[in-house]
Every structure is written in C-alpha cells, then in structure tokens.
Amino acid sequence: MAKMTMVEALNLALRQEMTRDDGVIVLGEDVGVDGGVFRVTDGLIGTFGENRVLDTPLAESGIVGMSIGMAVYGLRPVCEIQFSGFSYENFHQIESHAARLRWRSRGRFTVPMVLRTPYGGGVRALEHHSESREAFWAHMPGLKMVIPSGPRNARALLTSAIRDPDPVIFYEAKALYRAFREEVPEVEETLPIGRSQIVREGRDLTLIAYGAMLRPTVAASERLAEEDGLEAEVIDLLTVSPLDDSLFVASAKKTGHVLLVHEAPRSFGPGAEIVARLVEKAFYYLEKPVARVTGFDVVIPYFSRENSYLPGIERIVRQARGLLAS
C-alpha cells in the first residue's frame, strides 16, 4: 500500500468516486485550475473536465445553493468551502434547505451532497481560518457531521459521505493535511458513518477525541503508560453526529474514568453532549465526574497564543493525572 498524506488520500477518494459515478461533481472556489487552496482537488479538472470540476465565484451561499439544487436533481455534488470560518455565509442554505428537504417533502427528495471544509488551528492562520464550530452542524437535525483523524480513515469516510443519501458536513483538520503519512489501500475502502473506533485498548481511563486532537491524545496515553503505568483507552469519534455512544459508554463502564478532548470552545461543545450521555447511560459506573480538556470560550487567538489555546499533550496528561488522583 502507498503511504499518503491526508491531502493525497482525500484526492484519491474524490478521483475514485468521480470515476465510479458520473454524477459526482466537485465545485468551489479555486478547486479546478488551482486544485484547491490546499490542493485536495489537484489534477481533477484535467481528468474529468470543467463540466465536473467547477471553479465558482467567491460566493459561499451560491456554492451551497447550487449544490443543493444539483443534489435534488439527482447529482452528487461535493462542494468545498475554503475555510470553515467562511461557512457562516452558507448557513441559511444548509439550515433551511439541505437539512430539511427530506423532512419537508415527506421523504420524496433527499440531498446527497457533501460540504468539505478545512477547520481548526495549528497552522498559524488568520481570523476565520482556524475555527472549530462542529457543534453548529452537529446540533442541526438532518445533517451528518464527520471529522476524520488520519489519511486512511479520511479517504474511507469521504467515500462513504459521497455515497450517503443525505447531506454530510465533512470537516478536515488543516493541521493534519500534511502532518504525517499513512498506508492507504488503492482498492476502494469505506467506513460506516456514525461509528467510532477504539485506537488504543486500556483499563484505567477512557480518553475520547477526534480530528486533530486524536494525535496529542494518543501521545498523552503513551506518556501516561510510560511514566505512570496507567493504561488509557483511546476512542476516536470519527463522526460527531450521529454520535456512537455505545462504544464510549461501554468503555466508561469498564474504566470508570473519562476525559474528553476537543479544540472547540468548551461551552455547549460536543464534549457537553458526551457528558450528558455518560450521565444518562453510565452514571453508576463512573468513579469520578467526567473531565474535559478543550479550547476556551474565546475566538481562537492569533499566532503567538494559538498553542496556549489548543489542547496539547501536557494539558491532557495533567488533567488525566488529576482525574485519577483526586
């Protein structure tokens, strides 16, 4: 198997799905001639032509509105919004149309579209370029909210998202785009949307993370094992909505201690929903209150303070030790 970056793996998923299905259309700002701001769509216009890889005006609401129309018509558009912080311009189109058409039409119409967008910090970008607002979309009935954590699951999940009959918001962590390489099979591979994975088995503590936060969480678990003799179980959510609570509830019942990690602001974030479900389904198994390591309730800061905002290995290890010691 070839070792790929996340950018290359996503490009492979798009290329294979466009080859398999003539109805798959890619559109967005600079996705054609320039191959996308992060080069995820590099080379697609040369293979599939400008009728299937569309460079659009700088108009996020228009990009999403066109995608909804294409999807209702029977195509499978994959639109790119260059940074998630600019997706508020298309919020109305998603909330009022994409997420509701199945319900509004009593199932007569579905909207099989994917909205891909880079999110999160860690690359010293400007305002509106580093935000982590997955809670907006996860809170919206009718949408699925997917966040891969590495090249292989990014490729498999994007393939599944394109084939899904309903709208999928697909967040891609910029910090992971070229952070590392991973073996990705050339043959088609999918992962079910709505399922999480255990990436490290453990008995003492459950760590739950997703997206760019998975790597520091795994590194923290390895440090806890090496320095403290603690075996943490690490769960990668992969899909924020619908949330696969069966896996982390079972893990919580086994370890009795749970620590959540996400870079989104703390209040009303995905961690709060996970805590609620643990209280509902595993309360009598918890030996301590569920803890969180998250971003702060502020706009993500500029370069010099960015690393202070983002959860890192030190914060995760310190919080885990405190949780188990108190």
pLDDT digits (tens, 9 = 90+) for 39-76: 999 999 999 999 999 999 999 999 999 999 999 999 99
- Catalytic option among 129, 139, 257, 262: 129
pLDDT digits (tens, 9 = 90+) for 249-275: 999 999 999 999 999 999 999 999 999
pLDDT digits (tens, 9 = 90+) for 112-167: 999 999 999 888 887 888 899 999 999 999 999 999 999 999 999 999 999 999 99
Does residue 92 have an active-site annotation? Answer: no
pLDDT digits (tens, 9 = 90+) for 279-292: 999 999 999 999 99
Mean pLDDT of 290-305: 92
In the chain, DSSP assigns E strands to 2-4, 24-28, 53-55, 76-80, 114-119, 144-146, 168-173, 182-184, 197-200, 205-209, 232-236, 239-241, 258-265, 291-295
Give residue 123's pLDDT.
80
Is the pLDDT assigned to residue 326 strictly greater than 70? no
Asked if omega into 270 is within 30° of 0 (cis), the reply is no
Confidence band for 210, pLDDT divided at 50, 70 and 90: very high
Confidence band for 38, pLDDT divided at 50, 70 and 90: very high
Residue with tokens 């997420």: 99
